[in-house]
Amino acid sequence: MAARKTRAKTGGAAVEDPFIEQAPRSLTDRAYRALEELIVTLQLSPGEVLSEAALSKQLGIGRTPIREALQRLAREGLVQVLPRRGILVSDINVKSQLELLRVRRELERLMARFAALRTSHAERQAFLALADGMDRSAATEDDVEFMRQDRSLNLMMAKACRNEYAQKSMGLMHGLSRRFWYMHYKEVLDLPLCARLHAGLARAIGEGDPEKAAAASDRLIDYTESFTRATLEATLKG
């Protein structure tokens, strides 16, 4: 969630939002966040050749932070550094996405279970409030609001699970997953169902039920996998 001082409301009670996203601590962090968003939202297209000088000018950030941010994005698979060809935005591969989901299934189940066990009272209230917001997105089919809430849920789970190794591993996958979703969601996504599945996960964590949270995580990955396979079928037909 973006940094703010507002309160999250659920069940008529107001609690301080415990999930405050920190502002970028360095120019490299700022460059990374900006470039990651440009790639995930396809403003930098798959296969596009990137220029450090052009990106530096576009973002108003020096070339050294840009270079360091690109190295981080290369580790996450969003860009490729190729000898004699330069830096390219990575292609989107549906089959690779299915392999990624196999890892996400195990990792997100673990994170959901840990989050349900380790959240504070204030954090649980925030998860319940987010679940209510997801339900509203399901009812209104508001895709922009859903994308914002989806990112919030990812950040909240990463913090609430209290496991730095799971956080780091999941961080390597989120950008690739979000870019794939952004590219294909208008073609085959059932937004109300997807939003309800996210709401179920957030609510199970908010209720402090680790087994229910793990099962909700599996149901969400089941749907994400079916969405990915539907995308593959549509691609092959096209």
Q: What is the pLDDT of residues 74-96, one digit of tens each?
A: 999 999 998 878 899 999 888 88
CA distances from 70 to 62, 64, 91 (A): 13, 10, 16
Which range has the worst mean pLDDT, 20-29, 56-65, 100-109, 156-165? 20-29
Please report which helix (H) or strand (E) contains residue 10, including its range.
strand 7-10
Residue ending a domain, choose from 89, 110, 133? 89
- In this predicted structure, the answer to whether residue 9 has a pLDDT above a threshold of 70 is no
Tell me the per-residue pLDDT of 177-200, one tens digit each, with 9 for 90 and over.
889 988 888 888 899 999 999 999
CATH number at residue 165: 1.20.120.530
Question: Do 176 and 205 reside in the same domain of the chain?
Answer: yes
Question: Do 79 and 188 reside in the same domain of the chain?
Answer: no
Domain that holds residue 77: 27-89
The two tokens of residue 237 are 């037909």
Cβ atoms 67, 31 nearer than 8 A: no
Tell me the per-residue pLDDT of 126-150, one tens digit each, with 9 for 90 and over.
999 999 999 999 999 888 788 889 8
Question: Do 144 and 51 reside in the same domain of the chain?
Answer: no
- In this predicted structure, the answer to whether residue 11 has a pLDDT above a threshold of 50 is no
Number of domains in the chain: 2
User: What number of CA atoms fall less than 13 Å from residue 83's CA on the CB side?
Assistant: 0
Please give the pLDDT value at position 24: 60
pLDDT band at 151 (very low <50, low <70, confident <90, very high): confident
CATH number at residue 73: 1.10.10.10
